[in-house]
Amino acid sequence: MAADFETLRVRQDGAVMLVDIAAPPINLLGIQLVRYLVSLMQRAESDEACHVIVFASADPDYFIPHVDVTRISEYREQAARLTGEPSMAILFRRLSESRLVTIAQVEGRVRGAGSKFVLACDLRFAALESAIFSQPESGFGLIPGAGGIQHLTRLLGRARALDVMLDADDYAADLAERYVCTNRALPVGTHVECILMLAHRIAAFPAAGRAVLKARINAIALAPTDDFARDSDLFLECARDPEAQKRIQTAMTRGFQTHEGELALGHLISSV
Amino acid sequence: MAADFETLRVRQDGAVMLVDIAAPPINLLGIQLVRYLVSLMQRAESDEACHVIVFASADPDYFIPHVDVTRISEYREQAARLTGEPSMAILFRRLSESRLVTIAQVEGRVRGAGSKFVLACDLRFAALESAIFSQPESGFGLIPGAGGIQHLTRLLGRARALDVMLDADDYAADLAERYVCTNRALPVGTHVECILMLAHRIAAFPAAGRAVLKARINAIALAPTDDFARDSDLFLECARDPEAQKRIQTAMTRGFQTHEGELALGHLISSV
Amino acid sequence: MAADFETLRVRQDGAVMLVDIAAPPINLLGIQLVRYLVSLMQRAESDEACHVIVFASADPDYFIPHVDVTRISEYREQAARLTGEPSMAILFRRLSESRLVTIAQVEGRVRGAGSKFVLACDLRFAALESAIFSQPESGFGLIPGAGGIQHLTRLLGRARALDVMLDADDYAADLAERYVCTNRALPVGTHVECILMLAHRIAAFPAAGRAVLKARINAIALAPTDDFARDSDLFLECARDPEAQKRIQTAMTRGFQTHEGELALGHLISSV
């Protein structure tokens, strides 16, 4: 099955699908990763024996750092294959509405639209020692356009949402837990087993009640499609701003979108 | 006064009413407990000298575990005596709208609709060493129909609300505090005194301002009646599902709704 | 520049404006402080080189305790100079909508409308050892009318918001952090430097994206103007109540609105 999705290594473990994101060099949300993510969602949702998906990363340093800023229109076209809308925000909102329960097992760096993918999952657990979070968009004059404003503002409240989005710097798993960006931070060593047990426990319960429950929770906590779409459009507008373009270009010359260069992205941004 | 309410032992301490829930064997929200809860609310609200109610349990192991699943229509009829609607969700919402300030002093297990009773109270403090929380409904293919979805989603945010409601397992007072299910977890030994001091402090302040304050906070944070009613209806629909009925029947044979059998309910559920 | 604002000592540090609140004896939100706060906001917003304001206090014991209850109509008239509305709630909401990023560096006591000023700021950091929070209004039969109900209910959730507003007592920086009243509590000694670094980091990022971001977050998390206005009106109504007037008068005879008398305000209130 792995062959079908190239950038996603897939194993089926009973009713639980285990997915390792493997899009070297840094799991960038580019054309390939978005294409196979769409295919995977279609495949998993059509398999009635599949109830839960666990997303992990094959790269210990990066879960998903952010979108490929050099291919914005192309990866958005891939997203449109599932939703009809060239928008990562709408694609991720669709993931939140899935009948499947999605769990993010976060190790390494999760930033920008990668962070929004994680926020769109139903449950998310961070490896205490290794998970790193950030919304770097402000540093370039961009905004989190893939749903981050919608999720983070509701979860963190106005001041903490402003904090993490204006600061554009990395923060660790313990702060992410205190700020409700993640369900819980779990110590490496036990976290994989904890998540797997939870996934199988949930998958064993009746699907009908689960679907009703998720729909009711989404009715309260999932922002309207229009708000996701508006953020998505504003991201594009901001990205066309010459000042933003200049900052992105400068960042590219300093290692942006490379494995080495993004290890300390908060520092790179402040030097642009 | 205790004689009036049978399953509720009542003492008046100045402007504060102290209520011990005493409905053996496990304080199930059945016909008796709901009947006397309604009577108590009517009595307390009509007494102008009463300003605050503190609810505690006479059973150290159980605060309120959940509804009596063998008597759903009957206990709902009791709730209708106060509100005109055969729904625990509407009854508990009515409690949240009361002019009285209600405080839950949680020791032992509080699960299902018992947890919703606690969530409907204005303030809730958990005994750090003994309080145990859970929303077990998913394990049976049911949903939290008595207001739990409304309260928990707003308090915990989407992912943590999904976590506790999909997992259907017990969690302790410290996690309940971190997840904002409870105001604070207080060490046994000091918690009764702390709560009593707070109750008397609040009761001594002017009632007029307090009523305005509570109304304004409810206008923001208390979900619309229609949403409570909808959850209540969906709970009934889920409960009629043959799969749910089968799981409930199996659970009954394994100690569900008994003092011994529910000590580790999360485990019982996963074996059904 | 300090001379222009009397009760506010102002220094410009690049794109960051540093403001020390200095309105002895206790930084009461009275006629003078509100007048100069309005002037400062007008001045800072019209200066295109200014991007961030950091508010601190010149008095280690008091940040802003609350409004001057003896001059309610007069300080409200000062607020109307900026917004056309004689209401602190509307003035503070205007601050939240500013293109400027505002940061409160809280040391000492912040209570009542002072707390609402801090809640209206975009970011707020409390000195771990010295910051003290409270909403004392309930103790007098008043309500938090300057936006506190709107902010606190959304940030803390129903039960914790009721807790801090019904209790009317002081709470320390660590609880304020757990209750999401503050972004973070930072140890004295490092907190000034942390805040200054953050202020300069934010100010160096493009202004255009920041404005879009703040507008989008406000659209979600900043309550409608009508709700602020309604709370403001209800505060006035409550303040006219003879019981509230009597409590305020008694409190004045026991040191209310004096430096010494308000050190332990929670105790003073319970004795009125």
Percent helix, strand and coil across chain B, each to the nearest 5 = 50, 15, 30
The CA distance from C125 to C134, in Å, is 15
Tokens read off for C70: 């003896």
The H or E element that residue C215 is part of is: helix C207-221
Please tell me the distance in Å from C95's CA to the nearest CA on chain A: 13
- Judging contacts by C-beta atoms under 8 Å, the chain A residues touching residue B161 are 217, 221
Say what the ipTM of the complex is. 0.97
Bridge partners (DSSP) listed for residue B123? B103
* Portion of chain B with pLDDT greater than 70, in percent: 99
Mutate which of C95, C154, C194, C216 to test chain A, going by most A C-beta atoms within 10 A? C216
- What pLDDT was estimated at residue A94? 98
The CA distance from C232 to C147, in Å, is 8
Length of chain B: 272
Burial (CB < 10 A; 0-12, 13-18, 19+), residue B216, is buried
The CA distance from C201 to C210, in Å, is 12
Residue C263 pLDDT greater than 80, yes or no:
yes
Who among A138, A161, A243 is closest to C221 (CB)? A161
Q: Does B139 touch chain A (CB under 8 A)?
A: yes
- Judging contacts by C-beta atoms under 8 Å, the chain B residues touching residue C227 are 220
* Portion of chain B with pLDDT greater than 90, in percent: 97
Residues 6+ apart with CB under 8 A from C91: C34, C37, C38, C79, C82, C83, C85
Angle between helices C148-156 and C225-240 (to 10 degrees): 120
Q: Does A28 touch chain C (CB under 8 A)?
A: no
Residues A164-197 pLDDT 10s: 999 999 999 999 999 999 999 999 989 999 999 9
For residues C167 and B201, the answer to whether their CB atoms sit within 8 Å is yes
Length of chain C: 272
Tokens read off for C89: 């709630």
> Which residue would you say has higher pLDDT here, A3 or C119?
C119
Residues A260-272 pLDDT 10s: 999 999 999 999 8
The CA distance from B209 to C138, in Å, is 6
The CA distance from B260 to C254, in Å, is 57
Interface contacts (A, B; CB < 8 Å): 101
- Judging contacts by C-beta atoms under 8 Å, the chain C residues touching residue A231 are 216
Who among C157, C227, C243 is closest to B206 (CB)? C243
Residues B129-188 pLDDT 10s: 999 999 999 999 999 999 999 999 999 999 999 999 999 999 999 999 999 999 999 999
- What pLDDT was estimated at residue A4? 60
Would the pTM of this model clear 0.80, i.e. be above it? yes
Nearest-CA residue of chain C relative to A234?
A: C212
- What pLDDT was estimated at residue A3? 43
Nearest-CA residue of chain C relative to A160?
A: C183
* Portion of chain C with pLDDT greater than 90, in percent: 97
Q: Chains meeting B at 3+ CB pairs closer than 8 A?
A: A, C
Q: Is C101 helix (H, G, I), strand (E, B) or coil?
A: strand
Question: Residue holding tokens 């001594």?
Answer: B204
The CA distance from C193 to C201, in Å, is 12
Tokens read off for C208: 């255009």
Residues A8-63 pLDDT 10s: 999 999 999 999 999 999 999 999 999 999 999 999 999 999 999 999 999 999 99
Q: Chains meeting C at 3+ CB pairs closer than 8 A?
A: A, B
Fill in the DSSP letter of residue A125: E
The H or E element that residue B103 is part of is: strand B101-106
Distance, CA of C125 to chain centre: 13
pLDDT band with cut points at 50, 70 and 90 for residue C102: very high
Q: Which of residues 84-103 of C touch A (CB under 8 A)?
A: 96, 101
The CA distance from A210 to A207, in Å, is 5
Residue A89 pLDDT greater than 70, yes or no:
yes
The CA distance from B128 to B130, in Å, is 6
Residue A78 pLDDT greater than 50, yes or no:
yes
C-alpha to C-alpha distances, C244 to B206, C136, C262, nearest whole angstrom: 8, 12, 18
- What pLDDT was estimated at residue B2? 42
Residue C117 pLDDT greater than 80, yes or no:
yes
- Judging contacts by C-beta atoms under 8 Å, the chain C residues touching residue B206 are 138, 140-141, 241, 243-244, 247
The CA distance from B210 to B218, in Å, is 12
Nearest-CA residue of chain C relative to B104?
A: C159
Bridge partners (DSSP) listed for residue A10? A19
- C239-267: string of b/e by CB count within 10 Å (b at 16+)? bebeebeebbeebeeeebbeeebbbebbe
Q: Does A267 touch chain B (CB under 8 A)?
A: no
Bridge partners (DSSP) listed for residue A101? A52
Residue C25 pLDDT greater than 60, yes or no:
yes
- What pLDDT was estimated at residue A267? 95
Residue C4 pLDDT greater than 80, yes or no:
no
Question: Residue holding tokens 């398999």?
Answer: A47
Nearest-CA residue of chain A relative to B153?
A: A217
Who among A142, A157, A241 is closest to C221 (CB)? A157
Q: Does C49 touch chain A (CB under 8 A)?
A: no
Q: Kindly state the greatest CA–CA separation across chain C.
A: 53
Tokens read off for A63: 């879960």
- Cβ contact, residue pair C123, A166, below 8 Å: yes
Q: Which of residues 235-264 of B touch C (CB under 8 A)?
A: none
Who among C119, C123, C216 is closest to A231 (CB)? C216
- What pLDDT was estimated at residue C5? 85
The CA distance from A65 to C131, in Å, is 37
pLDDT band with cut points at 50, 70 and 90 for residue A5: confident
Q: Is A260 helix (H, G, I), strand (E, B) or coil?
A: coil
Nearest-CA residue of chain C relative to B216?
A: C149
Q: Does C154 touch chain B (CB under 8 A)?
A: yes
Q: Does A208 touch chain B (CB under 8 A)?
A: yes
Tokens read off for A197: 């047990």
- What pLDDT was estimated at residue B5? 85
DSSP character string of A45-99: HH-TT--EEEEEESSSSEEE--B-TT-HHHHHHHHHHHHSSS-HHHHHHHHHTSS
Tokens read off for C151: 């902010």
Mark the ranges of chain B whose per-residue pLDDT is less than 70: 1-4
User: CA Rg, chain B, in Å?
Assistant: 17
Q: Does C229 touch chain B (CB under 8 A)?
A: no
Burial (CB < 10 A; 0-12, 13-18, 19+), residue A261, is middle
C-alpha to C-alpha distances, B24 to B52, B130, C51, nearest whole angstrom: 25, 19, 64
- Cβ contact, residue pair C206, A163, below 8 Å: no
At position C224, the amino acid (one-letter code) is P
